[in-house]
Amino acid sequence: MAMIRLERRADPSNFWRYGAPLVAVLATIIAGGIMFALLGKNPVEAIRTIFWTPFTGRNAAYYLSQLPIKAAPLVLIATGLALGFRAGIWNIGAEGQYVIGALSGAAVALALYPMEGRWLFIICIAASLAGGMLWAMIPAVLKVRLGVSEILVSLMLVYVAENILASLAVGAMKNPEGYGFPGSRNLSQYPAVANLDIWSGTGIHWGVIAALLSVLAGQILLSRHILGFQIQVAGLAPRAARFAGVAPGRLVMVCMAASGALAGAAGWFELAGPSGIVSVDFNVGYGFTAIIVAFLGRLHPVGILLAGVLLAVTYVGGDVARSSLGLPAGSIQSFQGMLLFFLLALDVLTAYRIRIGRKARA
Amino acid sequence: MGGIDPILLLASLMVASTPILLAALGELVVERAGVLNLGVEGMMITGAVCGFAATVLTGSPWLGFVAAALAGGVMALIFGVLTQYLLSNQVATGLALTLFGLGLSALIGQSYAGITIDRPPSLNLPLLRDIPWLGPIVFRHDVILYLSLAMVVAIWWFLTRSRGGLILRAVGENHDAAHALGYPVIAIRMAAITFGGAMAGTGGAYISIMRLRQWTEGMTSGAGWIALAIVVFASWRSGRVLLGAYLFGGVTVLQLNLQGAGFRIPAVLLSASPYLITIIVLVLMSLSRNARNATPGNLGATFHASN
């Protein structure tokens, strides 16, 4: 009987390692079209609205400026997550660290309002780095000390963080001059801490610069630094890593701290700029989408940069589709999830080749 | 506790626990087979929306539950094909399933938002329902709730007393040994994964059809993740899954009641309490050596028979 089976390659295929993301994107567009058709929407129109119209239509300049705004948090968070993912450390609560980082920065900014001085912006960034890092240290310490699953703890802390956000937005951080409306002062209108476009209208704010720096730093870390080497060994061969003197506990702490800090900073850059206000619906899932970005970018800083831009396109396109086609806000997530499915499915071709035919007898 | 009726509280505890119980029981079987499916939340929310939609379309909540189980099973099959046949990483694939489910449910549910359905009838077991105290707490519920309790016993029996359960556990403890003995590792795992998906879907639909009787985006709000934590809490035993699920149902109901009764506890602490308590329970469980030894040996490991 003819059958399909997988045969392990002697060496991983470089063609599929870098080709898989491209094929996955194509497959997602096709499958997404089918999904829209099944739900009674015109598939061609939906796909065009998401991927094409925003960047060629009348408002192209505006939508293009949205790309760096959406890509920056994704790239910042994903670069940090990729370090841990490489070492088999699963911080999936970046969304919570993003929220707590933003709130930490906001706490400093609102406490010092209306003090002047651009150095305040630096203080707020530091606060957000510390806040996100500390929030990530909870699962890290529990993992290292007690062996508790970092997956479940970091994820549970997302819901805790969202509850804290909701409570602060209508409570302690509420704008005293806001006529009773929920939400804080608009931090993007507080010059000392505002994270505005560096070149007006381009969407390039300080978070974008930070994202590019994190890509650079991640690249250097992984290719030139002993820690980067340890991370790679720990992921590929945990036993060998231990013999080579890698302390697994320390690696967990470092990877969680780095990803938490970067997610925290991403939260602050978003809050002080594009979003402006501490509100109940401040977080839009960048922390979860960043997981997809990390995988799509092959856990590689430069790849993450490219993947971040691509996922930013889906966010911008999703916004357009929501207003012009009436798609619900969450629908773009189905696209993103599908993308990850296809990528994971195609990844098998990196390590295995498909053999069709009779089972060979050894 | 002024303002809180203990009978009502206990009865609603059972209702609030049922979605988590169903999902956790399904995941228990999956994990006993050595597979870690982190997509429970995604399968639950897909079940919730499909079940609700089917109820609205057909007028029958029971067809709704069937649709939900099917939807959860189909979602689980995606996970199964990817992890078992295409050897993808189980953690990443489970996450993808959750993200996909959250998005897909939003798309499907768009035209069902704002609709409310009637509460499906309870069984109201005759005679038993009139027992003082116990009657209103235990014997006035719907058939799905009793089904979830029956599943606790059925799964306990299957895993510990039946030949099939023994094989399933063997596959979960050491897939290479099970394979060498001639058991179809992948087929058994696919069956377990599909069953887990159907249970998660049913659990999700219990939220949309029975508890809230409406659809809202993201309405499972982490129940799937709590179900995953309960399996760990339960040391992979079905009786303990019941205990864990009812404990969390209790916390949920109590915090809602305390908020409603205007107790002077900060609302943020109450709303976050199910999640905080999940973390605390995970920490406590990690301190017990028995629990750590109970983890199925090959949990989350990829199986590929090389010859």
CATH number of the domain where residue A74 is located: 1.10.3470
Q: Which of B216, B221, B189 is nearest to B298 (CA)?
A: B189
* pLDDT per position as a tens digit, A321-336: 888 877 777 777 888 8
Residue A283 in contact with partner chain B when CB distance is under 8 A: no
| Gap between the Cα atoms of B93 and B256, Å rounded | 34
Across the interface, whether the CB atoms of B99 and A147 are under 8 A apart is answered no
- The pLDDT score that the predictor gives to residue B293 is 72
Q: Please check whether residue A244 is in contact with residue A233, taking contact to mean a CB–CB distance below 8 angstroms.
A: yes
In this prediction, residues A41-54 reach a mean pLDDT of: 84
Task: Provide the chain A residues 293-312 that lie in CB contact (below 8 A) with chain B.
Answer: 295
Closest chain A residue to B229 measured between Cα atoms? A152
| pLDDT of B307 above 60 | no
The alpha carbon of residue A18 is apart from the nearest alpha carbon of chain B, in Å, by: 17
- The pLDDT score that the predictor gives to residue A315 is 87
* pLDDT per position as a tens digit, B8-40: 888 889 999 999 999 999 999 999 999 999 999
- Please indicate, yes or no, if residue A4 is contained in any of the structural domains: no
| Gap between the Cα atoms of B213 and B211, Å rounded | 6
pLDDT band for B257, please (50, 70, 90 cuts).
confident
- The pLDDT score that the predictor gives to residue B290 is 66
Q: Which residue has the higher pLDDT, A5 or B13?
A: B13
* Amino acid identity at A321: A
Closest chain B residue to A331 measured between Cα atoms? B103
Smallest Cβ–Cβ distance between B78 and the set A35, A335, A341 belongs to A341
Among the residue ranges A57-71, B73-87, B128-142, the one predicted with the least confidence is: B128-142
In this prediction, residues A142-164 reach a mean pLDDT of: 93
Q: Please check whether residue B198 is in contact with residue B180, taking contact to mean a CB–CB distance below 8 angstroms.
A: no
- The pLDDT score that the predictor gives to residue A332 is 79
What phi, psi does A326 have (nearest 5°)? Answer: 70, 30
Q: Which residue has the higher pLDDT, A247 or B187?
A: B187
Residue A24 in contact with partner chain B when CB distance is under 8 A: no
Please report the number of interchain residue pairs, chain A to chain B, with beta-carbon separation below 8 angstroms: 153
Number of neighbours of residue B160 by Cβ within 10 angstroms: 12
Across the interface, whether the CB atoms of B306 and A338 are under 8 A apart is answered no
CATH number of the B6-117+126-293 domain:
1.10.3470
Task: Provide the chain B residues 2-41 that lie in CB contact (below 8 A) with chain A.
Answer: 38
Across the interface, whether the CB atoms of A147 and B286 are under 8 A apart is answered yes
- The pLDDT score that the predictor gives to residue B113 is 87
| Gap between the Cα atoms of A360 and A5, Å rounded | 10
Number of neighbours of residue A362 by Cβ within 10 angstroms: 4
Smallest Cβ–Cβ distance between A8 and the set B105, B108, B306 belongs to B306
Q: How far is CA A204 from CA A72, A190, A196, A201, A208, in A?
A: 9, 19, 8, 8, 6
Q: Which residue has the higher pLDDT, B53 or B136?
A: B53
Q: Show the domain range for A165.
A: 42-326
What percentage of chain A carries pLDDT values higher than 70? Answer: 97
Residue A151 in contact with partner chain B when CB distance is under 8 A: yes
Max mean pLDDT range (A178-182, A276-280, B298-302):
A276-280
pLDDT band for B1, please (50, 70, 90 cuts).
very low
Residue B107 in contact with partner chain A when CB distance is under 8 A: yes
Q: Which residue has the higher pLDDT, B180 or A178?
A: B180
Average pLDDT, chain B: 90
- The pLDDT score that the predictor gives to residue A358 is 60
* pLDDT per position as a tens digit, B32-71: 999 999 999 999 999 999 999 999 999 999 999 999 999 9
- Residue showing tokens 């399968």: B43
Task: Provide the chain A residues 55-74 that lie in CB contact (below 8 A) with chain B.
Answer: none
Quick check: helix, strand or coil at residue A39? coil
| pLDDT of B252 above 50 | yes
| Gap between the Cα atoms of A28 and A36, Å rounded | 12
* Cβ-based neighbours of A308, under 8 Å, separated by 6 or more: A71, A72, A74, A75, A78, A211, A293, A297
Q: Which residue has the higher pLDDT, A320 or A71?
A: A71
Task: Supply the DSSP symbol for B214.
Answer: B
Closest chain A residue to B233 measured between Cα atoms? A148
- The pLDDT score that the predictor gives to residue B3 is 61
Q: Which residue has the higher pLDDT, A121 or A47?
A: A121
- Please indicate, yes or no, if residue A55 is contained in any of the structural domains: yes
**Domain segments of chain B as ranges:** 6-117+126-293
What residues of chain B lie within 8 A of the CB of A314, using their CB? none
Q: Please check whether residue A91 is in contact with residue A259, taking contact to mean a CB–CB distance below 8 angstroms.
A: yes
Optimal mutation site among A174, A334, A354, A359, interface B, most CBs of chain B within 10 A: A334
The alpha carbon of residue A89 is apart from the nearest alpha carbon of chain B, in Å, by: 11
The alpha carbon of residue A221 is apart from the nearest alpha carbon of chain B, in Å, by: 24
Q: Which residue has the higher pLDDT, A181 or B232?
A: B232
pLDDT band for A111, please (50, 70, 90 cuts).
very high
Across the interface, whether the CB atoms of B95 and A291 are under 8 A apart is answered yes
What residues of chain B lie within 8 A of the CB of A337, using their CB? 42, 96-104
**CA B142 from centroid of its chain's CA atoms:** 17
- Please indicate, yes or no, if residue A319 is contained in any of the structural domains: yes
Residue B275 in contact with partner chain A when CB distance is under 8 A: yes
What residues of chain A lie within 8 A of the CB of B110, using their CB? 326-328, 331
Count of the separate structural domains present in chain A: 1
- Please indicate, yes or no, if residue A123 is contained in any of the structural domains: yes
* Cβ-based neighbours of B105, under 8 Å, separated by 6 or more: A330, B45, B46, B48, B49, B217
Across the interface, whether the CB atoms of A337 and B102 are under 8 A apart is answered yes
- The pLDDT score that the predictor gives to residue A359 is 55
| pLDDT of A269 above 60 | yes
- Please indicate, yes or no, if residue A250 is contained in any of the structural domains: yes
What residues of chain A lie within 8 A of the CB of B300, using their CB? none
pLDDT band for B119, please (50, 70, 90 cuts).
confident
| pLDDT of B296 above 70 | yes
| Gap between the Cα atoms of A156 and A62, Å rounded | 37
Residue B70 in contact with partner chain A when CB distance is under 8 A: no
Residue A155 in contact with partner chain B when CB distance is under 8 A: yes
pLDDT band for B208, please (50, 70, 90 cuts).
very high
Across the interface, whether the CB atoms of B272 and A335 are under 8 A apart is answered no
In this prediction, residues B274-293 reach a mean pLDDT of: 82
pLDDT band for B268, please (50, 70, 90 cuts).
confident
Query: Using DSSP, how many helices (H) and how many strands (E) does chain A show?
Result: 14, 2
In this prediction, residues B244-262 reach a mean pLDDT of: 85
* pLDDT per position as a tens digit, B209-220: 999 999 998 899
Average pLDDT, chain A: 88
Across the interface, whether the CB atoms of A160 and B91 are under 8 A apart is answered no
Kindly tell me the sign of the dihedral angle through the C-alpha atoms of B134, B140, B143, B144: negative
Q: Please check whether residue A151 is in contact with residue A92, taking contact to mean a CB–CB distance below 8 angstroms.
A: yes
Across the interface, whether the CB atoms of B86 and A327 are under 8 A apart is answered no
| pLDDT of B306 above 70 | no
* Cβ-based neighbours of A201, under 8 Å, separated by 6 or more: A61, A65
What residues of chain A lie within 8 A of the CB of B217, using their CB? 328-330
DSSP string of A264-275, one letter each residue = HHHHHHHIIIII
Closest chain B residue to A153 measured between Cα atoms? B279
CA angle centred on A259, ends A254 and A264, rounded to 5°: 125
| Gap between the Cα atoms of A185 and A45, Å rounded | 39
What residues of chain A lie within 8 A of the CB of B42, using their CB? 337
Six-digit token string for B220: 């499972």
| pLDDT of B291 above 70 | no
Quick check: helix, strand or coil at residue B246? helix
Residue B88 in contact with partner chain A when CB distance is under 8 A: yes
- The pLDDT score that the predictor gives to residue A2 is 54
Task: Supply the DSSP symbol for B295.
Answer: S
Residue A333 in contact with partner chain B when CB distance is under 8 A: yes
- The pLDDT score that the predictor gives to residue A284 is 86
Q: Which of B32, B36, B307, B28 is nearest to B176 (CA)?
A: B307
Q: Please check whether residue A257 is in contact with residue A133, taking contact to mean a CB–CB distance below 8 angstroms.
A: yes
Six-digit token string for B127: 């005679």
| pLDDT of A361 above 50 | no
What phi, psi does A187 have (nearest 5°)? Answer: -70, -20
- The pLDDT score that the predictor gives to residue B2 is 52
